[in-house]
Amino acid sequence: MDMTRPEFGVKQCCLRLKRLQAALPDETEGLLLVGGLDGQYNIGTSQALGYLLIGRSNRDVADACHVGGGFDDTILLLKRDAVLAYAPDAAIARKLREMLISACISDLEIFAPTAEEAADPDMLEDHKIASLVQMLRGMSTLAIPYGSPAQDGRAGRTADPMRLEAWPLLQAYGLEGVGRGGFDLGFC
């Protein structure tokens, strides 16, 4: 009996995306996934991105610390009927487009830096912040996967919205003249 796992592809990604969208609480407008350093390598985000984009399942999801596959610095906003994404470069933007639009998403917007922006770290950060501002325009209530206290070694810790304010990208979004003052956040 062949026990190899079939290659993860567009159909599986589509099914998983639909599951994540269906799991959004009624009072929540979207699920924000901020990967990499900008989300302080949040376990819940790494798990969600790995599940959706890499094809992790079962124990592989629970053990995820980093997304991998080049998706570590990706940002996704999953709405019930749309996906907005920030890709750190053209190659990741292409992967996201192939995975999401070809099978299941008609309303997909991907923000990716130009070659000039990607070559300059300051311009790249400005583009990332501007992309987040565009992605979150009109949003007021978001869910953010948090992970469990046992996964990050801090038993007894509860979901604390103040920890999210330490995320570099959310700090930049909260600056006067950049984004807006804040959100109502839900944890999942």
User: Do the domain assignments include residue 2?
Assistant: no
Q: Residue 73: inside a domain, yes or no? A: yes
Tokens 């819940």, residue?
44
Q: Looking at the domain assignment, is residue 111 inside a domain?
A: yes
Q: What is the residue range of 28's domain?
A: 10-178
Residue 76 CA to residue 161 CA, distance in Å, equals 19
Question: Is 92 part of any domain?
Answer: yes
Burial, 26: exposed, middle or buried (Cβ in 10 Å; 0-12, 13-18, 19+)? exposed
**34-63 pLDDT tens trace:** 888 888 888 888 888 888 888 877 666 556
d(CA 3, CA 127): 44
User: What is the domain-level CATH number for residue 90?
Assistant: 3.40.350
Tell me: pLDDT of 3 over 50. no
Complete DSSP assignment for 22-78: HTS-TT--EEEEE-GGGGTT-HHHHHHHIIIII---THHHHT-SS--TT-TT-EEEE
Q: What's the pLDDT band for 154 if we cut at 50, 70, 90?
A: very low
Residue partners of 1: CB distance under 8 A and separation at least 6: none
Instruction: Give the residue-averaged pLDDT of 153-173.
Output: 60
Residue 185 counted as domain residue: no
pLDDT for res 155: 42
Put residue 13 in one of left, alpha, beta given phi > 0 → left and psi -120 to 50 → alpha: alpha
Is there a domain that residue 186 lies in? no
Place of tokens 């990741």: 92
184 assigned to some structural domain? no
115-147 residues labelled b (16+ CB within 10 A) or e (exposed): eebeeeeeebbebbbbbbeebbeebeebbbbbb
Each residue of 102-142: pLDDT tens digit? 656 678 999 999 999 999 999 998 899 889 888 988 888 88
Q: What is the mean pLDDT of the chain?
A: 77
Residue of 32, 31, 37, 33 whose CA lies nearest to 167: 37
Per the domain annotation, does 3 fall within a domain? no
If one counts the domains in the chain, the total is 1
